[in-house]
Structure 1
């Protein structure tokens, strides 16, 4: 009886059937979260670069001699709304200042940083676009 019980316990202790399924699930979950994290990082960088480009384009537009600063803000808002959505074009400001020794138009955009999909905390990302202001001599 003791020998039979010993063989059963030995077999149960060394039995590994089903462990491959569990390992596959654990590794699959880990790789899924890793892949989703990389995709989310790519999306956040895409949104940041798009907003940065729109701010720079708006600053160039507002710095033209026949444009007003309000035209630059409007251009920035249009570009951001078209590219990534209206929720990213809510807080846009413009200023005239010296930048690298020359008069410049600076547009600053404060927008949410996408954390889950395109949603994230408001005003957590700030980018600026600079352009030399055209003047008549």
Structure 2
């Protein structure tokens, strides 16, 4: 597998297998989108993420092992309260906005509880759409 300069990591210590589940969904083509609250990005990170559209990215797991490559097809902003349906459907495991919101409240629960994230209808999400690249 070719390794690209750009890197995206799915998973973190204590994620109860969520990172691996997400990678498996990418590998099957089920997951074609990801998002994160804009407030969690630094100014430099925001600048970088907007430049990834059209770029090839290597996906790593939480153990820093390269797993696959993706091509970022679009980067845009949406809100948690009214997420773009390309994001909702591209997440791979939900069909409805309410399911998307519940999944992300659960995934980001620790950040919310620690006060690192205020999640409400107006929370801006940075969204990346992508496709699996067969090397």
Q: Give the TM-score normalised by structure 2.
A: 0.30
The structure having more radius of gyration, on CA atoms, is: 1
* Greater RCO, CA 8 A, separation 6+: 2
Higher relative strand content? 2
Q: Give the TM-score normalised by structure 1.
A: 0.30
